[in-house]
């Protein structure tokens, strides 16, 4: 994202590389990928994640009523609107990308602009509007692939230390990462063994490289899996939302289950 974005709460629409969020070119999107609606469409259509946030907020309206709420990385403003609907007195959304131009219009279209104020810029650089120094609740959709992919956790913790009231809350304040090993013979043949015979030629030298690279893919939930590592045992757990980032990611805190690790792509046959 562009480093020169200025924080603003009202006034003209923000710009990125001199362009309004609605007039950005593909070149601008390269430097500000979160300005494009497509990535937000993908996240909003993740119903499991979005509905979990909505239910968590709506089922705890007594915690949000009359409170000041901060949304770190507000995107299209969906969590801001959930918080406002839950009765928050003031909701502040901070967003660094050009999508904030659309978020402002979305909030106005839903007649929630009296309760929600958006600030453009980085958490580390902006100040809260209207003289607000502390917030009661911080909400953020910071999780990415494998929990940490989007690297938003450090920003959320920075906001926590900077603005969260002593008795404040974070939604969510706990995350658990699990690991398990699986076997997929067909996938192995398509991605690894395929290099042994490519149109009659031996390209197995690439096979050695291919097998060393991690593959990221979606596993069909209907596909049977045979667990090597107990999936109920957390590999990583954020317990105390007030502990420093470096304590949270301390590898010494990782909990594992003793297990026998078989060779990569070893076939695990179910017992008959």
Span 33-40, average pLDDT: 63
Kindly report the number of other CB atoms within 10 A of residue 261's CB atom: 9
Q: Tell me: pLDDT of 35 over 70.
A: no
Which pLDDT does position 38 carry in this prediction? Answer: 61
Written as one string, the DSSP assignment of 185-233 is HHHHHHHTGGGG-BTTB--HHHHHHHTTS----PPPTTS----SS-TTS
Catalytic annotation present for 213: no
Cβ proximity of 175 and 145 under 8 Å:
no
Which pLDDT does position 256 carry in this prediction? Answer: 44
Q: Dihedral, CA atoms, 20, 125, 57, 220, nearest 10 degrees?
A: 70
Which pLDDT does position 91 carry in this prediction? Answer: 98
CA–CA separation, 180 and 188 (whole Å): 17
Query: 7 pLDDT band (50/70/90 cuts)?
Result: very low
Which pLDDT does position 1 carry in this prediction? Answer: 35
Catalytic residue among 150, 183, 190, 213: 150
Which pLDDT does position 270 carry in this prediction? Answer: 41
Of 113 and 146, the one with more pLDDT: 113
Catalytic residue among 141, 183, 190, 213: 141
Q: Tell me: pLDDT of 250 over 50.
A: no
Q: Tell me: pLDDT of 9 over 60.
A: no
Write down all domains in the chain, each with its CATH number in brackets: 15-173 (3.40.50.150), 177-253 (2.70.160.11)
Span 28-36, average pLDDT: 55
Cβ proximity of 44 and 76 under 8 Å:
yes
DSSP H or E run through 166: strand 164-171
- How many C-alpha atoms does 94 have within 13 Å on its Cβ side? 25
CA–CA separation, 188 and 184 (whole Å): 6
Q: Tell me: pLDDT of 88 over 70.
A: yes
Of 189 and 124, the one with more pLDDT: 124
Give me the chain's average pLDDT, please: 75
CA–CA separation, 82 and 87 (whole Å): 9
Percent of the chain with pLDDT over 70: 62
Q: What is the pLDDT of residues 99-113, one digit of tens each?
A: 888 999 999 999 999
Catalytic annotation present for 141: yes
CA–CA separation, 51 and 55 (whole Å): 6
Which pLDDT does position 254 carry in this prediction? Answer: 43
Percent of the chain with pLDDT over 90: 40
DSSP assigned state of 14: P
Query: 245 pLDDT band (50/70/90 cuts)?
Result: very low
């Amino acid at each position: 994202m562009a480093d020169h974005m200025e924080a603003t709460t009202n006034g003209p629409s923000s710009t990125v590389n001199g362009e309004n969020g609605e007039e950005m070119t593909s070149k601008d999107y390269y430097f500000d990928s979160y300005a494009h609606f497509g990535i937000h469409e993908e996240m909003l259509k993740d119903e499991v994640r979005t509905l979990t946030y909505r239910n968590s907020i709506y089922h705890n309206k007594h915690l949000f009523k009359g409170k000041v709420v901060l949304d770190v990385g507000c995107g299209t403003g969906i969590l801001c609107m959930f918080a406002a609907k839950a009765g928050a007195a003031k909701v502040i959304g901070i967003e660094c990308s050009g999508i904030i131009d659309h978020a402002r219009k979305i909030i106005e279209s839903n007649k929630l602009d009296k309760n929600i104020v958006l600030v453009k810029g980085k958490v580390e650089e902006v100040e809260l509007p209207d003289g607000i120094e502390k917030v009661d609740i911080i909400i953020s959709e910071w999780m990415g692939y494998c929990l940490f992919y989007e690297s938003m956790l450090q920003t959320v913790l920075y906001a926590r230390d900077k603005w969260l009231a002593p008795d404040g809350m974070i939604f969510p304040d706990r995350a658990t990462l699990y690991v398990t090993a699986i076997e997929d013979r067909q996938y192995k043949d398509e991605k690894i063994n395929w290099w042994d015979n490519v149109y009659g030629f031996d390209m197995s030298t690439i096979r050695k490289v291919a097998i060393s690279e991690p593959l990221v893919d979606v596993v069909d939930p209907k596909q049977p899996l045979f667990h090597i590592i107990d999936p109920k045992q957390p590999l990583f757990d954020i317990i105390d939302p007030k502990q420093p980032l470096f304590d949270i990611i301390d590898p010494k805190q990782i909990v594992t289950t003793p297990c026998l690790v078989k060779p990569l792509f070893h076939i695990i046959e179910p017992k008959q």
